Amino acid sequence: MLSREDNERLVRVGKGTPLGDLFRLYWIPFLPSADLLTDGQPKRIRLLGEDLVAFRDTEGRVGLVDQACPHRGAPLVFGRNEDCGLRCVYHGWKFDVTGAVTDMPAEPVRSRLKERVRIKAYPCKERNGMIWTYMGPDQEKLPPLPNLEWNLVPQEQVHVSVRVQECNWLQAVEGEIDSAHAPLLHGRLDSQGTTSAWIQKRDLRPTFECIKREFGMSIAARRNYDANTLYWRVNQFMLPFYTLVPPLSPFPDLSGHAWVPIDDENTLCIMFSYHPSQPLQPKTRQIFAEGHNGRESGHASCHALVQHPVTVPYAGYWTRYNPQNGFQFDYSAQRTTWFSGLPGLWVQDGACQSGVSPIFDRTKETLCSSDTGIAMTRRFILEALGAYRDHGTKPQGVDDPDVFMVRAVSLRLPPEDSWVDAGAPFMRAKLGADFGYEL
């Protein structure tokens, strides 16, 4: 378990907190490019507890600025996006993507007030359909965008979805690096609606091995495959908030998340699934986008999303599966068909990660051997926080974009083979290269 103090360090992301300051060293993905139209409606954004507004100006540039007009605090989400700037509807003050004031129609012609007023603004970049921002301390010397394979492969090879989850970022991360839960939580019952025969067919007691990396942590789960073979699944955690999940035959794609903290109690879940060398199959894309037989896949489907008012951050990415309605838990389905009784893959994860509280009191946990990866990842993050706070030491990935060229792997190996050594060439991502091993 964690102490109360460490728990606070790992979930508080506001400006001036240890974790918030560390996260602000990185470029942060925060919105699909398609969401912002040229001179289109601004969008309310919240990142790391800061309330912002995003818009695309007449020349196609993306602005990310403070949500409140610095004149009298009117909400800029209602602003008129026109003529290369966002104009407040209250008194007409207008701001460009850099935060500079370009017009004050109610001020005298000779007034120099607009030269002295600026609104908070963060630089933005776009790559392969995703908008990124940098909220760090040095706005003059920006680090490079991270070379994450999912954001570098051609569009036809990747599917990206976005949703809001009502819990802190770490609870979400820990759900994805924990592979012990998968055959249980995501399992289906046998034809009699019982777990006995189903459990006997699976090795539900994996052994875990974890190692620190320059990017974060590799969490390997070992299971028995047959008398002469071990099955290794290696999940990856990459600072600041990325997780990678191995492929699973017959679904030949890599997947994972950017678990972007909206604030201390809500997380923007950016999920990506991609094939490293081939286009995704049309049927796969359809399931990701629409679900399957009324159930959700790992991606939030178009049917799961509900529209909130424009003043709500990420208004179009909240879902109809949430703590307020019990994630639409179905007890009859739990008795007859699905181990969990929850309607789909991501819903099952989300319900367990956020169903009790947005910030769980980790002093009440009872960790066990299958939580080795979780415990070591927490310790890794705490060490990174301490190194930056006490010595100014930045994690390697801040300035080295290739640190992120990593893959999760699923390997069948003889018992005498080391997963670290045998898996090393397959865990390095190389654009255009296939998996390199049989799934």
Is residue 193 within 8 Å of residue 337, measured between CB atoms?
A: yes
Considering the domain architecture, whether residues 195 and 297 belong to the same structural domain is answered as yes
Kindly state whether residue 10 falls inside one of the protein's structural domains.
no
- The whole-number average pLDDT for the span 41-51 is 98
Q: What is the pLDDT of residues 170-226, one digit of tens each?
A: 999 999 998 888 888 888 886 655 544 444 345 667 889 999 999 999 999 998 888
Considering the domain architecture, whether residues 209 and 347 belong to the same structural domain is answered as yes
Mean of the per-residue pLDDT values of the chain: 93
Torsion (CA) 254, 259, 260, 266 in degrees, nearest 10: 150
Q: Which residue has the tokens 């139209």?
A: 37
Kindly state whether residue 395 falls inside one of the protein's structural domains.
yes
Considering the domain architecture, whether residues 178 and 92 belong to the same structural domain is answered as no
- The whole-number average pLDDT for the span 20-48 is 98
Query: Domain of 259?
Result: 149-427
Please state whether the peptide bond connecting residue 70 to the residue before it is cis, i.e. omega within 30 degrees of 0. Answer: no
CA distance 94 to 96: 7
Kindly state whether residue 229 falls inside one of the protein's structural domains.
yes
User: Is residue 273 predicted with pLDDT exceeding 80?
Assistant: yes
Considering the domain architecture, whether residues 163 and 98 belong to the same structural domain is answered as no
For residue 200, the model assigns a pLDDT of 39
Kindly state whether residue 20 falls inside one of the protein's structural domains.
no
Provide CB contacts within 8 A for 182, sequence distance 6+: none
Please count the structural domains in the chain. 2
Q: Which residue has the tokens 């199959």?
A: 281
- The whole-number average pLDDT for the span 229-244 is 96
Provide CB contacts within 8 A for 329, sequence distance 6+: 341, 342, 351
For residue 181, the model assigns a pLDDT of 86
The phi, psi pair for 432, rounded to 5°, reads 90, -15
- 277, exposed or middle or buried, with CB in 10 Å at 0-12, 13-18, 19+? middle
Considering the domain architecture, whether residues 89 and 155 belong to the same structural domain is answered as no
Chosen domain end from 134, 162, 181: 134
Chosen domain end from 72, 104, 134: 134
Considering the domain architecture, whether residues 153 and 130 belong to the same structural domain is answered as no
209: domain CATH number? 3.90.380
Considering the domain architecture, whether residues 155 and 221 belong to the same structural domain is answered as yes
Closest CA to 168 of 18, 314, 356: 356
**DSSP helix/strand/coil, 95:** strand
The phi, psi pair for 77, rounded to 5°, reads -65, -20
- The pTM of this model reads 0.94
Q: What is the pLDDT of residues 352-409, one digit of tens each?
A: 999 789 999 999 988 988 889 999 999 999 999 999 999 999 999 999 999 999 999 9
Angle between helix 169-177 and 345-354 (nearest 10): 130
Higher pLDDT, 179 or 1: 179
Considering the domain architecture, whether residues 227 and 370 belong to the same structural domain is answered as yes
